[in-house]
Copies of this chain bind each other. A is one copy, B any other.
Amino acid sequence: MRTSIATVSLGGSLTEKLAAASRAGFDGVEIFENDLLASPLTPEEIRGRCADLGLTIDLYQPMRDVEAVPVDEFGRNLRRARHKFEVMRRLGADTVLVCSSVSPLAVDDDALAAEQLSQLADLAQEFGIRVAYEALAWGRHVSTYDHAWQVVEAAGHPALGTCLDSFHILSRGSDPKGIEDIPGEKIFFLQLADAPLLAMDVLQWSRHYRCFPGQGGFDVAGLVRHVVRAGYTGPLSLEVFNDVFRQAEAGPTAVDALRSLLVLQEAVGVAELPAPVVPTGVAFAELVTPDAEPVSAVLGALGFVRAARHRSKPVDLWQQGDARVLVNTGPAARRDGTGLAAIGLESPDPEGAARRAEALLAPVLPRRRAREDAPLEAVAAPDGTELFFCATGRPELPDWRADFEDVQHTPAASDIRRIDHLALTQPWHHFDEAALFHQGVLGLDAQESVDVADPYGLLRSRAVTGADGGVRIALSVGAAPADDTVHAQHIALDTRDVVAVARRFRAAGGLLLEMPANYYDDLAARFEFADGELATYKELGILYDRDAYGEFRHCYTRTVGRVFFELVQRDGGYRGYGAANAPVRLAAQHAARRLTGG
């Protein structure tokens, strides 16, 4: 189906918005009236710009409070409509949206509404324009889609149809099944938006908290299925009012928006994408750093050994069990110090995974990073992290380690088994999009989003995981743009025995994050422990949590650059990430940073 986006969904000037929509790959746009009014371009110039960009203008919505009003008021409305239809003629837009009236002048009289909408449609026809009448969820007398359709049906005018809007329908709790009773050719337009399930005044909710399909709590795909069954053949158009999107750069938002429509069309069954290839594990995490020494010291103290070195680049492979960390001191090293730059995902079908990612608009990275390198499928996540789809020790597929040459080393320790999870800090404006990316592109499941109190603001965190826990990625975002760099990324390592690993780490000179004594007093109040157990945790800064499935013990290294390591021990099927301990951990990290001036 054709895809479209309302300019109000994007930030910036009208021309920035149009360029972003075109670059992302949309077929058309809805022009929001304020964007046109504020633009220095004439309607003809906007039309030309859209044509150059390969965008149709699918809808214009300059009319408010049109119908079911006293006759003199309606006369003024028709006068206004004539002006606006003239603008639309210049713009080359042939569908006008008319939302159900919220005016205190409107009367509860469907026959009058139908009669006046017919008159409006008569006028529209003179300009070659169709009128799409939509029920606002907070419309004064018409607030449901079936009621709006009754009015349209009663009018029986060829240039009058209805516009369906997933937000207005689903926020009212209406059953979208009845959409199938509307003849497809009378559905003139379909606007799509999702929203988180908040109990909030619906007008506020709509104006500020809408999001792209798949990011919220509505079954938008279910609704679209009914609309398709009704025979609708127009575009799927995103109309998303959101405070955050308004501030964000239009380019990435437009890409996220179109990705949500692609995933939606796949769910509805009207588009076919390469099937998801769910990664089964983490092959490696790659750190870039201008100075390998501090990170190598931490890895060494954790019992990792430098097992191999890249044949052509300054990249070391550190290993213990199935946990592999690459330390890259090449030109990719960020100026802002040590950071987590790439993740190797163990993939059953690396090529298929890359094909799906590409179809879902993920930037594909060069398959070879240097001429000598073996080809490796890779894409960029929205936060810039490089994702490699690769295979480790599977004879039927090339092994990514082929580019590495073993170096002589003593055997590694064996307490660390694998990477338990990776925690990635997301850019402020693109948190929800990140979750959608990891779900849609990688086929991971998104868990509930949780708020964590940091001393200097709230942190939102959301995990995306593979079905078997083989891949776990915790996405987090700070409360304000400035926090992008405050909260470090981290690599969590799965241990058999966190106490033993922590002890060895400390004995080897490693610095563990210290936790306050008050935390352990609280643990003593909440749980019962064996003699001496709490004293050990306190000594090593080990935190404790419990859920319905099992127990969780974890501790943290001090931060190196923008990265730290977490040591975790999961027992009995514990499913979480120790979120209950996050406020204490974050405060300890702030305190440590202040101490070291970092």
Contact = CB atoms under 8 A, between A and B. Distances in A.
B42 A517 contact: yes
A392 to B, nearest CB: 40
A516 to B, nearest CB: 5
A476 B524 CA distance: 49
Given A457-B11, A516-B39, A481 B479 contact: no
A372 interface: no
Contacts of A526: 80
Contacts of A71: none
Nearest to A451: B207
Contacts of A204: 198-200
B80 A525 contact: yes
A549 interface: no
Contacts of A480: 247, 480-481
A243 B587 contact: no
- Most chain B beta carbons < 10 A, residue from A456, A458, A482, A514: A456
A246 B39 CA distance: 38
A37 interface: yes
Determine chain A's interface SS by DSSP, over half rule: helix
B11 A456 contact: yes
13 contacts: A33-B522, A37-B519, A38-B519, A38-B587, A39-B518, A40-B591, A42-B517, A62-B525, A246-B457, A247-B456, A247-B480, A480-B481, A481-B481
A506 interface: no
Interface of A: 11-13, 33-34, 36-43, 62, 79-80, 83-84, 87, 198-201, 204, 243, 246-247, 453-458, 479-482, 514, 516-519, 521-522, 524-526, 583-584, 586-588, 590-591
* Chain multiplicity (copies): 2
Nearest to A583: B34
Nearest to A43: B518
B201 A516 contact: no
Nearest to A90: B521
A479 B42 contact: no
Nearest to A245: B457
Contact of A84 (B33, B199, B525): B525
Nearest to A46: B518
Top 10 A-B residue pairs of the complex, sorted by shortest distance between their CB atoms: A83-B525, A38-B587, A199-B201, A247-B457, A200-B200, A80-B525, A38-B584, A40-B516, A37-B518, A37-B519
A457 B38 contact: no
Given A246-B479, A247-B480, A455 B80 contact: no
Given A13-B587, A516-B40, A587-B13, A34 B80 contact: no
A8 to B, nearest CB: 8
Contacts of A39: 516, 518, 587
A583 B33 CA distance: 11
Nearest to A82: B525
B83 A521 contact: yes
B524 A12 contact: no
